[in-house]
Structure 1
Amino acid sequence: MSISNYNLSGDQKRNIEHFASIVKLALADAVITEGEEKLLKRLAKRFHILDDKYKEILENSDKYPRKGFHSYNERIEHLYDLAKMIYADDAVSIKEASVLRKICVGLGFPINNVEKVADEAIHLILKDNDLEDFTKAIKQVNKQ
């Protein structure tokens, strides 16, 4: 563990892990576009990720495993951020959709419903839904 990780709170660690998942999606096609970079920088600021940590995560996002969240709404909000990253370059690749499905499992969505949840998340972002509408729709698709 690097010295920079010793004093991180639980929230800070989760933010870094979540940001690393978003970076993994941005890198799914091996290129970070201008739109993806703008979104990454905006999210890094929102998550209070400093420049050095930002660069470290970009260089080695696999170092940060995806962990589950405590609340269902929190998981949906993170799914919203991830889906926005997929469409940050105005296109959705098959590889990005595949990575999103894997991350959905890591977020704690049921394996038998992950494809439906991920596909709906992408569809909602393509239609430019806000977080509130996104949350309602994902809850409808993920009824258990």
Structure 2
Amino acid sequence: MSISDLYTSGKHKQEMGHFASIVKVAIVDGIITDGEQQLLDRTAKKLNISEEEYKAILKHPEKYPLNPPISYDESIERLYRVTKMIFADGHVDKNQVILLRKTAIALSIPLDNVEKVADEAIHLVMNNNDLDDFTAAIKNVNAV
């Protein structure tokens, strides 16, 4: 096995863990709405999640740990995707916000900034900010 194969498989495991965290947000209320399903389908395609992996993750998302990316910008992009899932069904659930905060911690957001960053993430997505604006605003809020 070459180094590039190892990197690819490690990167793919990261993507599967990220997809599982998005699934957890989608199923926290016990149902997956049409909007959530569409976002899951798009995200799975973007992350190169196979149909078999997709089904396995949907069945048992807790089996896939969130492995944070090395890049800060990638971490913010993951936070963006998870936050978008919260709004896919048109409302924010308390349990979804709790999962968002846990995801932010897993993505290496400092504990003393987690609530502030999560609140800002929700505000930004609620106001239809794109990824670039979201990234800039989160970096500003999370400045240490």
Normalization by structure 2: what TM-score?
A: 0.93
1:53-109, Cα deviation, whole Å (9 max, x unpaired): 101000000001112220110100000000000000111111101110011101110
Does residue 121 (structure 1) correspond to residue 113 (structure 2)? The answer is: no
Shift of 1:50: 1.1
Question: 1:1-144, aligned counterparts within 5 Å?
Answer: 9-144=9-144
Which ranges of structure 2 fall in alignment gaps of 5 or more residues? 1-5
Aligned residues: 139
User: d(CA) in 1 for partners of 2:10 and 2:66?
Assistant: 14
Which ranges of structure 1 fall in alignment gaps of 5 or more residues? 1-5
Q: Which amino acid aligns with 2:68?
A: G
RMSD, matched Cα? 1.4
Shift of 1:134: 0.2
Q: Which runs of 4+ in 1 moved over 2 A?
A: none
Q: Which amino acid aligns with 1:31?
A: I
Between the aligned residues of both structures, percent identity stands at 51
Shift of 1:28: 1.3
Secondary structure of the corresponding residue to residue 92 of structure 1: coil
Normalization by structure 1: what TM-score?
A: 0.93
1:17-75, Cα deviation, whole Å (9 max, x unpaired): 10000001111111111100000001111111111110100000000111222011010
Shift of 1:133: 0.2
User: d(CA) in 1 for partners of 2:74 and 2:46?
Assistant: 15
